[in-house]
Structure 1
Amino acid sequence: MIQNVEFRFEGGRCGVLLIHGLTGTPTEMRLVGKGLNNAGFSVYGMQLAGHCGDVPDLLATGWKDWYASVEAAAEKFRHEVDHLFVAGLSMGAILALKLAAERPEWVRGVGVYGATFRYDGWAIPRVSRLSFLLPLILRLGFCRNRMTHENEPYGLRDERLRAQISNLMLSGDSTAAGLPGNPWPSLAEMGAMAATVRRELPKVTAPCLIAHATEDDVASVENAYLVARSVSGPVDMLLLEDSYHMITIDRERRTLIHRSAEFFSKIASSCTPSARAVA
């Protein structure tokens, strides 16, 4: 059964909508949310449709449901603030970019954290890099019940934190650290979404802070460069050298929080408060 674990931190008239990744949970965005709130922002850590339950809950949804839940959260939150920013981790970064492409009048700026258009990090098994074949495999009726299980280092360079997260992940409580793996149908859905959003990137005119670990174990830094080359708005790059994929909780999370707060504040100071008024 799905449990609601989204969070809200009340702050100023600038708001940041935070989006977690595939099979993840809002908890992976909570430290960034608390840091941004301490810097004066209102924060909404939303929960994607189908997440924080069991595998059947997730499989009952697809990427259009995930994006619809993002748009619904943004629609609710934007009426509470003068300036709306959106930031996401991994698949959440792709969803954030899609919101900026689809609703440019809503989004002032985007935090693109560890964007994952392709699973091509150094810890991804070679066979898993053939995920583009999944839609064909599933259409043929094969492997619908298969799952790619998470393995070391779980996106974390910090060994102490890695041990804590892996224990939570394997405990069966998906609200704490997400599911212990990615069901193949959900990976196929994510692949379809990534292909769609990749074509839409030129529609992103909002400024983007693109943050990525140089040694990302899940999605290589080429994913970050893809975004930087493709969006139409200004880009600020933040390359992190002492983290793996989960940059919102890994060793350099404070650097990420500081640069994000600085980035969003600079944009807000140059804007008139019109986002809230757009119907």
Structure 2
Amino acid sequence: MPVLPGAEPYRHDGGETGVLVCHGFTGTPQSMRPWAEYLAAQGLTVSLPLLPGHGTRWEDMAVTGWQDWYAEVDRELTALTERCARVFVCGLSMGGALALRLAALHGEAVSGVAVVNPLNRIHGLAAQALPVLRHLVPTTKGLVGDIVKPGATEVGYDRVPLHAAYSLRRFTQRLDGELPQVTQPLLLMHSTVDHVVSPADSARILSRVSSTDVTEILLEHSYHVATLDHDADRIFEESYAFFARLAPSLGKEGTATGG
């Protein structure tokens, strides 16, 4: 099945510091590529995978679940740790949740976590109905494109497969119990107005993790897909400063020139 234009995975072979970048539910690497390319330009080794079932058609996603999505980022993290001396994880929305689980389960292999509008739970009455509803209705309206910036668009599905949404709900329930295992430095950036993920999710995550080095940044000029919105440059710069503080060798490695 052909990949949607712009949805291709992205990798860059840079220095000894690596970053794994995780996209969101029904989204694609396109929403994260400017962030990944910015980090690559600073000399980091970057991996931005396309999650299983994403980036083609929603029917492909309907037969995947959270175990598939997590297994993909877990493999990418292992590859980065074999290549790099220090590895960070980043994510948007569900990608943030995946990044947090990597930190919870991999301990010292993850040096720090930077997340944007991370998902913690599926809210609303519809979420409670998912166990039954998914057998009656295949899809609901899509989530992509929650952006303030004129002309900015997100590549992703215009429908949400409910089997996948049910699996995502189960994943968030599991992750909530694992959050106390997150001890790494954490940079959490979230929009003050978000039509996809409740700001309460960020508050819940901050209250559950065991990290003592925590930075919270409010994004006041963006909606959910802040990595493509007015606050994108701030996200990129704040994350790099966060990584450079934790990996002092970053500034000495020089910048990358390739793609």
TM-score by length of 1: 0.83
Post-superposition Cα deviations, 1:103-160, rounded to whole Å, max 9, x if no partner, equal 113111111111122355xxxxxxx65313202433xx322x2223347xx2101022
The one-letter code matched in structure 1 to 2:84 is: V
Alignment check: 8 A CA contact 2:111 2:185 kept: yes
Residues 119, 215 of structure 1: alpha-carbon distance in 2 compared, 3 angstrom cutoff: farther
1:2: how far off? 5.2
Aligned position for 2:170: 192
1:41: how far off? 1.5
Give unmatched runs, 5+ long, in structure 1. 121-127, 166-176, 271-279
Q: 2 CA distance for matches of 1:132 and 1:206? A: 32
Secondary structure of the residue aligned to 1:105 is helix
TM-score by length of 2: 0.89
Give unmatched runs, 5+ long, in structure 2. 250-259
Secondary structure of the residue aligned to 1:160 is coil
Match of 1:112 among 110, 115, 120: 115
Q: 1 CA distance for matches of 2:69 and 2:182? A: 19
Aligned position for 1:34: 37
Q: 2 CA distance for matches of 1:118 and 1:110? A: 19
Q: 2 CA distance for matches of 1:12 and 1:64? A: 30
Aligned position for 2:23: 20
TM alignment of 1:252-263, pairs within 5 A: 252-263=231-242
Post-superposition Cα deviations, 1:55-86, rounded to whole Å, max 9, x if no partner, equal 22111211111111110111112111111100
Q: 2 CA distance for matches of 1:89 and 1:132? A: 24
Aligned position for 2:227: 248
1:33: how far off? 0.7
1:42: how far off? 1.5
Aligned length in residues: 246
Residues 47, 241 of structure 1: alpha-carbon distance in 2 compared, 3 angstrom cutoff: same
Alignment check: 8 A CA contact 1:110 1:208 kept: yes
Q: 1 CA distance for matches of 2:159 and 2:108? A: 36
Aligned position for 2:149: 158
1:40: how far off? 2.4
Q: 2 CA distance for matches of 1:83 and 1:196? A: 27
Q: 2 CA distance for matches of 1:146 and 1:181? A: 6
The one-letter code matched in structure 1 to 2:180 is: P
Residues 69, 2 of structure 1: alpha-carbon distance in 2 compared, 3 angstrom cutoff: farther
Match of 1:47 among 47, 50, 61: 50
Aligned position for 1:142: 136
Q: 2 CA distance for matches of 1:129 and 1:218? A: 15
Post-superposition Cα deviations, 1:170-192, rounded to whole Å, max 9, x if no partner, equal xxxxxxx1111211111111111
- Over the aligned positions, Cα root-mean-square deviation in angstroms equals 1.9
Q: 2 CA distance for matches of 1:254 and 1:17? A: 19
Match of 1:130 among 126, 129, 133: 126
Q: 2 CA distance for matches of 1:119 and 1:243? A: 21
1:38: how far off? 2.1
Aligned position for 1:217: 195
Aligned position for 2:253: none
4+ long deviations beyond 4 Å: none
Aligned residues with identical type, % of pairs: 33
